């Protein structure tokens, strides 16, 4: 019993996940430990969540303190931690208002509801929202309907309608869609597609969408759930494009460093589309989650984590490019900051188990792309270690 493997043991959980036969029971910084005491370097951060690493002492302290003080009141009263978090999020993003939810998908639902309200306020009864191929926005019915992924939609029809899909990164296609459909009231886009294979929007794409949205009074809504909170070397990925501002933005994943939380941010005039009674959540914005989110932002500020992610990301990219320059099977190395993808010529899902056996946790998206999302606190030595193991795995796989 116990042991490194729970494969073969009966579990009464839904079969919704293919899980590696490993139980991780403890973490420290960028390190994770299994129930056999084996140590792993984390190059995934629980899918871009634990950006400050595991068992962070300051987060552990505020969690314990808040738990001993007050966990929940519901949104029938003012929640000072929620107001402070909204201020901090607006500060780092340049947006004006925040709705605090519990997850990414819920932040997306809020954004989609804003788009619908925006349409109805303009007298558009059958509005459409522009979305991209290969996008991922979450697993609730509306979020999976917005996603460009047949696998997560299969068997769940009828899907929520009102989405117009265009190829990601193709500004002409977006322009044609706007022209053909005056009822497009918003565009929902990831600045770098995460689940879609770590694909950065081509430069100028977001600015081009901004102009198209402006021409048609549509909202530019950016899904920064994976790219946000310093991951790409800025607080938010859209900030790599000088002068660009979205109307709506969703955040989640790293905001709570493991405590569930999500947020939908908006410009003042857009936020007003959801007045009292029009939207809500029981758990969202509770004192615990908000206190943690606030502490995450404070730590990231004090320790210049966005700048650190940029520098370590540059180093990771250099190491990967140097080590893989003449390796067959490597199609492309792409990404920004510490969100890096290595597209390979063939499906390589077995590489994540091989990495695990070498003490490194990675992830594969779209079957053929290694995705690296290490905690943003990794040092130079750990970056070199991640690159060395990944390079060795790829060489072994493609030079055999």
Ligand X SMILES: *Cc1c(COP(=O)(O)O)cnc(C)c1O
Residues labelled catalytic:
136, 223, 253
**Cα–Cα distance measured from residue 167 to residue 130, given in angstroms and rounded to the nearest whole number:** 10
| Residue keyed to tokens 């003080």 | 69
What is the DSSP-derived secondary structure letter of residue 160? P
Q: How far is the CB of 224 from ligand X (least distance, A)?
A: 8
**Cα–Cα distance measured from residue 271 to residue 89, given in angstroms and rounded to the nearest whole number:** 14
**Could you list the residues that contact ligand X (CB under 6 A)?**
103-105, 108, 136-138, 190, 194, 223, 225-226, 252-253
Q: How far is the CB of 14 from ligand X (least distance, A)?
A: 16
- In degrees and rounded to multiples of 5, residue 131 shows phi and psi of -135, 170
Q: How far is the CB of 136 from ligand X (least distance, A)?
A: 5
Q: How far is the CB of 135 from ligand X (least distance, A)?
A: 8
Q: Which residue is nearest to ligand X (CB)?
A: 104
**Cα–Cα distance measured from residue 167 to residue 170, given in angstroms and rounded to the nearest whole number:** 6
Concatenated DSSP letters of 206-248: HHHHHHHHHHTT-EEEEE-TTTTTTTTSSSSGGGGSTT---SE
Residue 257, Cβ neighbours under 10 Å: how many? 26
Burial of 358 (0-12, 13-18, 19+ CB in 10 A): middle
How far, CA to CA in Å, does 22 sit from each of 19, 155, 239, 246? 8, 30, 38, 41
Per residue, the 3-state secondary structure of 280-329, as one string, reads: CCCCCCCHHHHHHHHHHHHHHHHCCHHHHHHHHHHHHHHHHHHHHCCCCC
| Residue keyed to tokens 């796989």 | 397
Q: How far is the CB of 380 from ligand X (least distance, A)?
A: 27
């Amino acid at each position: 019993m116990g042991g490194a493997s729970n494969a073969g043991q009966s579990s009464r959980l839904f079969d919704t996940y293919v899980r590696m036969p490993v139980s991780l029971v403890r973490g420290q910084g960028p390190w994770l430990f299994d129930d056999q005491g084996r140590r792993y370097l984390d190059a995934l951060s629980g899918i871009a969540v634990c950006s400050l690493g595991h068992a962070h002492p300051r987060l552990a302290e505020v969690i314990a303190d808040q738990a001993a003080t007050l966990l929940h009141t519901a949104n029938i009263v003012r929640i000072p931690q929620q107001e402070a978090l909204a201020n901090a999020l607006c500060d780092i993003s340049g947006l004006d208002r925040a709705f605090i939810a519990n997850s990414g998908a819920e932040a997306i639902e809020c954004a989609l509801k804003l788009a619908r309200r925006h349409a109805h306020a303009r007298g558009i009864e059958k509005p459409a929202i522009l979305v991209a191929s290969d996008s991922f926005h979450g697993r609730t019915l509306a979020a999976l309907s917005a996603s460009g992924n047949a696998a997560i939609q299969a068997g769940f029809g009828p899907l929520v309608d009102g989405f117009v899909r265009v190829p990601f990164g193709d500004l002409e296609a977006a322009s044609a869609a706007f022209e053909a459909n005056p009822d497009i009231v918003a565009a929902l886009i990831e600045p770098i597609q995460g689940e879609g294979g770590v694909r950065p929007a081509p430069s100028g794409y977001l600015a081009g969408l901004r102009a198209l949205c402006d021409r048609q009074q549509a909202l530019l809504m950016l899904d920064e759930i994976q790219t946000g909170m310093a991951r790409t070397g800025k607080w938010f990925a859209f900030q790599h494009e000088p002068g660009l501002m979205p109307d709506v933005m969703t955040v989640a994943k790293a905001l709570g460093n493991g405590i569930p939380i999500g947020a939908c941010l908006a410009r003042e005039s857009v936020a007003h589309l959801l007045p009292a009674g029009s939207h809500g959540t029981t758990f969202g914005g509770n004192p615990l989650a908000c206190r943690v989110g606030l502490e995450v932002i404070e730590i990231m500020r004090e320790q210049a984590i966005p700048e650190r992610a940029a520098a370590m990301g540059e180093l990771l990219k250099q190491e990967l490019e140097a080590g893989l320059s003449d390796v067959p099977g490597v199609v492309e190395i792409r990404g920004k900051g510490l969100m890096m993808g290595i597209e390979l010529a063939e499906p390589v899902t077995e590489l994540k188990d091989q990495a695990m056996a070498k003490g490194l946790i990675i992830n594969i998206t779209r079957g053929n792309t290694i995705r690296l999302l290490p905690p943003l606190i990794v040092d130079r030595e750990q970056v070199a270690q991640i690159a060395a193991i990944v390079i060795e795995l790829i060489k072994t796989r493609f030079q055999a």
